[in-house]
């Protein structure tokens, strides 16, 4: 398979997942939308389009060359640990998910990174659209971070894309405004991040916002003591202190460089 085929495979999963979760949250919504849903969709689609266009450059010049070097020359820690493809696939998956846990945590603890990640949290609601709400600066910086992880651990192109496809579906799922039965959500949350679990991370309350960093496996929050359950009251208010920025495209893009607006 060529790089183009694999990349378009990821895009196909992204589009199908987005449509699926959009339909599901239309049929089984959990919270009422305060802002016009289609206005939100238009904002998030524009955000995603800008990101997709700009991201072609770091993917083409940083991520893909790293993946090709690793895949062809078999360098990296995991190649020296196992020669079985399936074992390496599982280990790569775990390593990437652990690395993403820490990346997300750094995005909250480092003031420079937080200015970019803030744009994801400025949303006062949470639905499948929020899953594409990432500042281009955060995405570019994460490309460098991921490339370093790929290089150190020796993660192949196929292994990386497999993880990314599951990650995209997981992010769409846990941001979606779907009402799951509480026992189903509770059982799932023992293993993977669910909509209720990720709501903890989107509350205005800093206690639960600066916790619950997992992207796929919830075990990382348990291991690194960052699981905090929000109260029902805290769940009612999502976002950050700033309630004006939410759907302003230029202001969101400019935010990390804007010294006049606080990132609280
Ligand atoms: Zn976050
Ligand atoms: Zn989120």
168 C-alpha vs ligand 1 centroid, how far in Å? Answer: 15
Looking at all shown ligands, the one closest to residue 130's CA atom is: 2
Predicted pLDDT of residue 171: 98
Predicted pLDDT of residue 1: 61
Burial 83-107 (b: 16+ CB within 10 A, else e): eeeeebbebbbebbbbbbbebbbbb
205 C-alpha vs ligand 2 centroid, how far in Å? Answer: 14
Say if CB 212 and CB 230 are below 8 A apart. no
- Whether 9 maps to a domain, the answer reads yes
Range of the domain at 86: 3-22+36-257
Predicted pLDDT of residue 151: 98
pTM over 0.75? The answer is: yes
111 C-alpha vs ligand 2 centroid, how far in Å? Answer: 18
Predicted pLDDT of residue 38: 92
Looking at all shown ligands, the one closest to residue 128's CA atom is: 2
3 C-alpha vs ligand 2 centroid, how far in Å? Answer: 28
Say if CB 164 and CB 116 are below 8 A apart. no
Name the stretches of the chain with pLDDT < 70.
1-3
Predicted pLDDT of residue 255: 92
252 C-alpha vs ligand 1 centroid, how far in Å? Answer: 16
- Whether 263 maps to a domain, the answer reads no
150 C-alpha vs ligand 1 centroid, how far in Å? Answer: 22
117 C-alpha vs ligand 2 centroid, how far in Å? Answer: 10
Looking at all shown ligands, the one closest to residue 198's CA atom is: 2
Predicted pLDDT of residue 262: 80
Predicted pLDDT of residue 2: 66
Predicted pLDDT of residue 5: 75
170 C-alpha vs ligand 1 centroid, how far in Å? Answer: 15
- The tally of domains found in the chain comes to 1
- Whether 29 maps to a domain, the answer reads no
Looking at all shown ligands, the one closest to residue 133's CA atom is: 2
- Whether 27 maps to a domain, the answer reads no
78 C-alpha vs ligand 2 centroid, how far in Å? Answer: 30
């Amino acid at each position: 398979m060529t790089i183009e085929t694999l990349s378009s495979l990821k895009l196909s999963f992204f589009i199908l997942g987005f449509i699926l979760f959009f339909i599901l949250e239309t049929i089984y919504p959990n919270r009422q939308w305060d802002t016009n849903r289609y206005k939100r969709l238009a904002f998030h689609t524009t955000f995603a389009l800008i990101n997709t266009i700009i991201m072609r450059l770091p993917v083409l010049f940083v991520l893909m060359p790293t993946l090709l070097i690793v895949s062809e020359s078999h360098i990296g820690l995991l190649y020296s640990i196992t020669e079985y493809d399936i074992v390496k696939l599982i280990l790569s998956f775990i390593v990437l998910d652990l690395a993403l846990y820490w990346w997300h945590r750094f995005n909250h603890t480092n003031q420079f990174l937080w200015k970019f990640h803030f744009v994801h949290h400025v949303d006062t609601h949470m639905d499948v659209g929020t899953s594409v709400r990432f500042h281009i600066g955060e995405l570019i910086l994460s490309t460098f971070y991921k490339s370093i992880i790929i290089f150190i651990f020796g993660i192949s192109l196929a292994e990386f894309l497999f993880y990314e496809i599951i990650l995209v579906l997981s992010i769409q799922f846990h941001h979606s405004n779907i009402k799951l039965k509480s026992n189903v959500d509770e059982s799932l949350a023992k293993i993977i991040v669910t909509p209720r679990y990720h709501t903890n991370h989107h509350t205005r309350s800093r206690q639960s916002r600066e916790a619950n960093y997992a992207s796929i496996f919830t075990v990382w929050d348990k291991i690194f003591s960052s699981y905090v359950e929000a109260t029902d009251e805290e769940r009612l208010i999502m976002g950050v202190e700033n309630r004006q920025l939410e759907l302003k495209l230029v202001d969101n893009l400019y935010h990390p460089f804007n010294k006049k607006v606080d990132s609280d």
